[in-house]
Structure formats: C-alpha cells, structure tokens
Chain A
Amino acid sequence: MNNWYFFGKKIEKLSDYLEGNLDRSKESRIEGDLAAKANQQRQLKQAQILVQNLHQLPRVQPSESFDTVLRARLRKEAMQQSTWISPFLGWENWRVPAFAAAAAVILAIGFYAGTRTAGAGGRYSAMATKSNLQSSPATTAFSPQTAAQPVNVYVLERVFDSESMGSRVSGFQGTDAERATADRPDSIDRPLLRPLESDLTINQAGVSVQF
C-alpha cells in the first residue's frame, strides 16, 4: 500500500517535473533519482551479462602429457619412499641418518652385551630377516635373552611395488620361540609369524631393517 502511495507520489511528481511545475531543487532531486535508478538498472544488467560470460568461458584442460607426468612423479615418490624410512615412521628425511646412527649404537650395545653373555654360557638371540628366512637359516646375534621371557622379533622390509607404483612394508612379528621355528628353511610357509602391517615398534631386543 505504502509502495503504491509512494509510487503514485513519484508519478505525480514526475508529471509535475515533465510539465515544468517544480522548483529547481525538486527538479534536480528527481533528476538525481532517475539517474540513480537508470544506473542501478544498468549495473544489474551488466552483472547478469558478466555472470553469463563467466559461465561461458571455455574450459581449460590439462596437456596430453599430464597423466604421464603425474605417473612419473608418483613413481619417483614411491621410489624415494622405498629408500627412506620416513613414509612409515612419519619422520622427515633429515632424521634418517640420525635414526641409522641410533640403530647402530643400539646394535653395538646389544652385540657387546650378547658377547659377554655368550662367554658366560648364555645363548644368542637371532634376528631373522625375510631374505634369510627364504634363503638360509643364517642368523646374526645381537642381544642376549633368557629362556623364560619370550622376546619379540621384528623383521621389516620396505618393498617397492612397481605395478602399483607404491611401496609397502612387509615384515613379521613374533616371539623368540616362533622365530626359532621360522629360522628353519622348511617353515617359511607356515603362518607362525604374524604379518606386521603398520604397527612398527622397535623392540629392545634388536632391530633388523632392510631397504
């Protein structure tokens, strides 16, 4: 209702304006109003055209070599992952040398302690690796163990899968008793050792990491 009244008033004023019945100040106010309206309308139309033009912009597509380049970059990344420890430990590359040094120290201490215990009649704990499980029962002594306490043996291997361009961790986790059975070449197919997928904990008995 108010709008109609307002509109009616405007029309009335517009008639006065057209007939020159308004004083100068009212005239210029109406001229300003009309100009603003026209400008608004123009802007609205421009906005519509703009949005339409943006919708109609041609769709840009990647180059033909996009997939090849991406595949190569993924492959490169996977290969880097296969040589670095970071992907499965979540460490940054610069920490790898630090890890290697720490592992070496642990191994050296284990070896030293093991030698001493062996001298005293103890027996060595052996670390089995996937490769020596498959080829020979050769083992390496790292740390001593007592017969009563089962010691976890972790064998980790980072394998690059060329088909999937990814790398995976394969490994086994088991107690010393299981390891002893697994050391025998004929036991390779037995599911004695539990597959170790993601929970990679370095145990106190020793570590064997293959790259």
Chain B
Amino acid sequence: MGLQTRENNSAINSREMPSDEELIKRFQDGDLYAFDLIVKRYKNQLMNFSYRFLGNMEEAEDVVQETFLRLYRKKHAYRQIAKFSTWIYTIASNLAKTELRKRKRRKLVSITDLGYDEKEYEIEDSGADTERGADRALKERYIQQAIEELSPRFRQVVILRDIQELSYEEVGKIIKAPLGTVKSRLNRARLKLQDKLETIMDRENQRKD
C-alpha cells in the first residue's frame, strides 16, 4: 500500500514536474505550453550566466531572449542524445561570446567607450544601507570586474562551474572539451582570479584566521 502510494506520488510528481527532455519533446510535438515552461525554468539561470559573462544587464537579457527565440525556431535541432540543459547553455554561451565580439568591434569604433569602472552593476540589493552590505556589494563588484577581465574561455568555464554549479561533465560538453581540459582550464582561471582579487582574498583569509 505504502509502495503504491509512493508510486502514485512519484507518478503525480513526474506529471507535475516533467523533465527538460520531456518538455522539449512536447514542444517539438507542437505543445506551446511546454515552451512556456522551459522559459520559466531557464530564464533566471541563463540570465545569471549571461550577466556574469557580459557584465551588462541589457546585453545579458538580449542574449537570453535570443536564446529562447533560437530554441523556438530550431526546436527540431535538439536531439534526445544530449541533455537539454547542455544544449541550451551551449546556445546561450555562443550568443554571449558573439555579443562580446560585437562589443569589441563597437569599442574599436567608439573612442568614447566608458570602460568597466563607469559601468553600473544592477545586482540584487544585498543590504547596501548597512556598512556590511555596502562592503559586500563592493566585493561583488570587484569579483564581477575580475571575471570580466578573464579571457572568454576562462570566464566561461569558471562561470559554468563555480557560479552556475554545473557538473564537470556538463561543462565539458558545453565547451566541447575533455574532462582533463575542463579541470586544468578551471584551475588556471581560478588562479588568475586569485591574482586579481588577492587583496580581498587575503583580507578574508585573515578575518577567518
């Protein structure tokens, strides 16, 4: 009886929470509601990924919009052999890299570009009215700036693994590299970040000691 109830519950749960792969299958079969659910499920994480990659809210939002438009247009390009999350992150990653290249071209054209220091970072309010909050906001800003100073390939791997918390396997599939490459690239990216953020890390280290 108990087992039956558990089975029933799991059946209900699987009905309520279809997997990504089930949703994309449904969408491929013409169910537009499944597309809505995919958007709902992924818009926040893709936004976070794009923002951390680009450091600009508008550009990041545009990348996420374009990712979903691509998904809408090319839904049949997805094959069940890959994990859906890997597939959609690959689309978003490629679009974010393209956006970065476009920005570089724009920078070449525009000499009046303001650079990182003058950018506004619209991150969620973490209590900036208190001293601690302001301190944290400043630290976040430095970290974001340090991430943006990394080359795109280092930036991508550190965001996917340390911020989005994807598995090494998933990161490997997204960046199309073997596990060993993922790990060594991640290590190098972390070391570069540590170099850039030495003062902050040291201060925290001392605080912990």
Contacts and interface: CB of A to CB of B under 8 A. Distances in A.
Interface of A: 42-43, 45-47, 49-51, 53-55, 57-63, 66-67, 69-70, 73-74, 77, 164-166
B32 A165 contact: yes
A50 B186 CA distance: 12
A53 B139 contact: yes
Contact of B143 (A57, A61, A74): A57
A77 to B, nearest CB: 7
A73 B39 contact: no
B140 A50 contact: no
A54 B143 contact: yes
B193 A50 contact: yes
Nearest to A59: B48
B47 A61 contact: yes
A51 B159 CA distance: 11
Nearest to A58: B124
Contact of B190 (A50, A62, A73): A50
A166 B193 contact: no
Contact of B61 (A47, A62, A165): A62
Most buried by B among A63, A69, A74, A165: A74
A60 B50 CA distance: 9
25 contacts: A46-B194, A46-B198, A46-B201, A46-B202, A49-B205, A50-B194, A53-B200, A58-B126, A59-B44, A60-B52, A60-B122, A61-B124, A62-B43, A62-B47, A62-B64, A63-B57, A66-B61, A67-B39, A69-B65, A70-B39, A73-B69, A77-B69, A164-B32, A165-B32, A166-B32
A116 B110 CA distance: 66
Given A49-B204, A62-B64, 10 more contacts: A50-B193, A51-B190, A53-B139, A53-B204, A57-B140, A57-B144, A62-B61, A63-B57, A70-B69, A166-B32
B190 A47 contact: yes
Interface in B27-74: 32, 39, 43-44, 47-48, 51-52, 57, 60-61, 64-65, 68-69, 72-73
Contact of A74 (B52, B69, B158, B208): B69
A53 B39 CA distance: 28
Interface string B112-142: 0000000000111010000000000001100
Contacts of B126: 58
A66 B163 contact: no
A66 B194 contact: no
Nearest to B62: A69
A150 B141 CA distance: 73
Nearest to B126: A58
A36 to B, nearest CB: 16
Given A51-B190, A60-B124, A70 B65 contact: yes
Contact of A54 (B65, B123, B163, B204): B163
B69 to A, nearest CB: 6
Contacts of A77: 69, 72-73
A43 B140 contact: no
B165 interface: yes
A77 B51 CA distance: 25
B43 A66 contact: yes
